Amino acid sequence: MSSRYRVEYQLKAHRKDAFIEWIKGLLAVPFVLHSVTERDNAQEKYRRVFEDVETLINEKITVDSDESLTRAAGVSRLDKLVPTIGTFFTPLPLTEAFLRQNARRAISERAYVSPSFNDIRHILNTAQIVQLARAGELSLVTFDGDVTLYEDGASLAAEDKVIGRLLRLLGAGMHVGIVTAAGYDDAENYERRLFGLLRRLERADLPNEAKRRLCVMGGESNFLFRCYERDGRAGFERVPESVWMSAELHQWNQQDINATLDLAEVMLRALREKLRLPAETQIIRKVRAVGIVPGQRFDPELGREIRVPLLRETLEEIVLTVQGRLENFPPAQRVQFSCFDGGSDVWCDIGGKDLGVAFLQRFYSPERPIRPEQSLHVGDQFAPVGSANDFKARLAGCTAWISSPQETVALLDDLLAELEAQKNM
């Protein structure tokens, strides 16, 4: 599952990750043939599968990086086996990662439950952080907000465990970015959502230079805020677009942006009627985004206002309908947009997280931008078609797919342990 909001959606074709599903298929054969009668050998058979996949990834990296090979052979074997596969910026030590996760999850000991989507997701995450730590070049770690750093719709409180890990990343010399779909053009809203992190930063024994390595990219790629500390008080200040936004985005026609958002808004209003959404449902228009969100209703039994939720199926229908229409709309084709399901609402943003990560790579190091193989983005929305805005971050760097703030903490513990181990070698 990609997050707790998507348990049943892994059964839908548009929600499946082709690479993970392909690996599941490879592992199903040794599971069916050997898991009951030869359980002692299951680990070795699974290990061989991951060893072969690891080899295919290495071959793809070689082919993709060598134009002469690309011209001669066309595409790698992995591209032929999984036509929708993307770019691998680093090798992945999948064999070692499997053995580590098998020790934790007892995958090869199971006789009735085959290796799952979650098993493979964790193995891929482990392989990625091990490789990044061992390469010794990791420079930028970015995070989604909701369901990654904090619960959906919540804020980052001072006692949240993830904050200590973020501070350790800053102390280790990393640049840390929060790349969120929350599209506020003022610092106050981000300071409210991240107040716990700011209060802990004020008390942290970190030099000011380290604290300045914390940024927030809002609206996926539209608003950049950098951390500052003055007179013992930490906050965020907006960075002018001229400092970080690419020339390509500056050249986007404002009329095309407005037309894209106008059409999305018209469609959201039409879908609100067509799908008979609750009367309290609101449509919100921002500078570079438009969304449909659940409203509030007074509950006489509880004696207070409660949120009126939207069905998951409804959210999916809205996302796929709006996205499909915009993809064939000329003004939207001249800019970049992202339609996604936030778990309880639907938004259409101008831009995308691939741009947000790329902007941070250049902002932190203008002369020599941070490379994709030096970056890691952690998020919960990586489903490949529609409604998953972290998916585009795969175009800009390495990624880790988590499903809760607790998984983020565990992932960072593993990453920090790997970094420390490499430091002590």
Is 146 among the catalytic positions?
Answer: yes
Which pLDDT belongs to residue 374?
Answer: 97
Write down the domain spans for the chain.
4-134, 137-425
Cα–Cα distance between 49 and 119 in angstroms, integer?
14
Annotated binding site for ATP: 104, 122
Look at 119 and 302; give whichever has higher pLDDT: 119
Average per-residue pLDDT in the chain?
89
What residue numbers does the annotated binding site for IMP cover?
Answer: 144, 146, 152, 180, 345, 353
* Residue 34 confidence class, pLDDT cut points 50, 70, 90: low
User: pLDDT band at 7, cuts 50/70/90?
Assistant: very low
- Read off the pTM: 0.89
Q: pLDDT tens-digit profile of 172-221?
A: 999 999 999 888 889 999 999 999 999 999 999 999 999 999 999 998 99
Question: Binding site, residues?
Answer: 104, 122, 144, 146, 152, 180, 345, 353, 380
Higher pLDDT, 34 or 151: 151
Per the residue annotation, which of 17, 40, 119, 146 is the catalytic one? 146
- What's the rounded Cα separation, in Å, for the pair 299 and 226? 41
- The DSSP code for 146 is B
pLDDT of residue 388: 58
Please tell me the predicted confidence (pLDDT) of residue 5.
42
pLDDT above 60: residue 14: no
Segment 43-49 shows an average pLDDT of: 93
**Does pLDDT of 59 surpass 50?**
yes
Residue 214: predicted pLDDT: 97
17, 40, 52, 144: the catalytic one is: 144
Contact 126, 100 (CB under 8 A): yes
pLDDT tens by residue, 381-402: 776 555 556 677 888 999 999 9
Decide which of 3.40.50.1000, 3.40.50.300, 3.30.420.40, 1.20.1260.10 is the CATH code for 137-425: 3.40.50.1000
